[in-house]
Amino acid sequence: MIDIRNLNKTFNTSKGKVEVLKDINLKVEKGDIFGIIGFSGAGKSTMIRCLNRLEEPTSGSIFIGNNDIVAMNKAELREARKKIGMIFQDFNLFDSMNVYKNVAFPLKIAGYSEEKIKNRVYEILNLVELSDKVDFYPAQLSGGQKQRVGIARALANEPDVLLSDEATSALDPQTTYSILELLRDINKKLNLTILLITHELDVIKYICNNMAVIENGSIVETGSTNSVFLNPKSNTAKKFVKIMANLSVNSECAGGGVI
């Protein structure tokens, strides 16, 4: 479903060129929930933003289905983006619009009739369990509710792929759990391919079937989530697993567990 081939991204800065992505090759199968983990500055956000060309790749190919996103002109890209939903860490909602209008926005842009927009908005709000908040504005919602609106808007055009850019980083643990449960439910009901990036290893462990590790702009490890957790090979994966193990021990100690 997603096939990234020899992807490179270089930024031109006042100090010269900076290679952010270096020869990225990665495949995500249709219907999978695939995670990419890395520390801050590793290049994961740039990589996921290249998939819908919010960032323009310097070179390489990105196939979603049979279509190379990188080779598309502006008109072709506009059409392709309708089938690539994206959710963001900061929710990216319009504060001046209520929940209904936020979810309806991409459908209006796509030129759907008011009747179809109404039916689709309520269908999606039911899916994300927010039908009772249809007239609320973002300022009236909790962080988890805002993210559910963001997910609903990303699903409005019935995408084939859902990209998640640190979508749970701003949420507390309990809310993070509820959002991950929602994404898992959506994946099952819609057979939606989900690609998420995060620096939270517990998020990857909880929801992802397969994963990749990015380090200094390069993919250094891929495999099933279980295999990477049980036998990490890259320095980054080993550090993440060690951090998680230490957190688990500290949590047990704080709760009166074994010291």
> How far apart (Å, rounded) are the C-alpha atoms in residues 160 and 210?
18
Is 255 among the domain residues? no
Is 257 among the domain residues? no
> How far apart (Å, rounded) are the C-alpha atoms in residues 168 and 86?
13
Instruction: Tell me the C-alpha to C-alpha distance, in Å, between residue 143 and each of 85, 90, 140, 150.
Output: 20, 9, 10, 11
Is 142 among the domain residues? yes
Is 256 among the domain residues? no
Confidence of residue 257 (pLDDT cuts 50, 70, 90): very low
> How far apart (Å, rounded) are the C-alpha atoms in residues 220 and 225?
14
Q: What is the DSSP letter of 155?
A: H
232: nearest Cα among 248, 221, 219, 246: 221
pLDDT in tens, 61-89: 999 999 999 999 999 999 999 999 999 98
Is 212 among the domain residues? yes
CATH number, domain containing residue 212: 3.40.50.300
Is 145 among the domain residues? yes
Q: What is the DSSP letter of 191?
A: -
Q: Give the SS3 label for residue 118.
A: helix
Domain that holds residue 102: 2-244
Q: 220: Cβ–Cβ under 8 A, 6 or more apart, which residues?
A: 213, 214, 234, 235, 236, 237
Q: Would you say 187 and 26 are in contact if contact means Cβ atoms under 8 Å apart?
A: no
Does position 128 have pLDDT exceeding 80, yes or no?
Answer: yes
Q: Which two tokens stand for residue 234?
A: 């890259």
Helix (H) or strand (E) holding 147: helix 143-155
Cα torsion angle, 97, 101, 107, 112, sign: negative
Q: What is the pTM of this model?
A: 0.90
Check residue 201 and give its pLDDT. Answer: 86
Check residue 243 and give its pLDDT. Answer: 82
Does position 25 have pLDDT exceeding 60, yes or no?
Answer: yes
Does position 258 have pLDDT exceeding 50, yes or no?
Answer: no
pLDDT in tens, 135-191: 999 999 999 999 999 999 999 999 999 999 999 988 998 999 999 999 999 999 999
Does position 259 have pLDDT exceeding 60, yes or no?
Answer: no
Is 259 among the domain residues? no
pLDDT in tens, 193-238: 999 999 888 899 999 999 999 999 999 999 999 999 999 999 999 9
Confidence of residue 244 (pLDDT cuts 50, 70, 90): confident
Question: Residue 114: how many CA atoms within 13 Å on its side-chain side?
Answer: 0
Q: How many domains does the chain have?
A: 1
> How far apart (Å, rounded) are the C-alpha atoms in residues 141 and 137?
7
Is 166 among the domain residues? yes
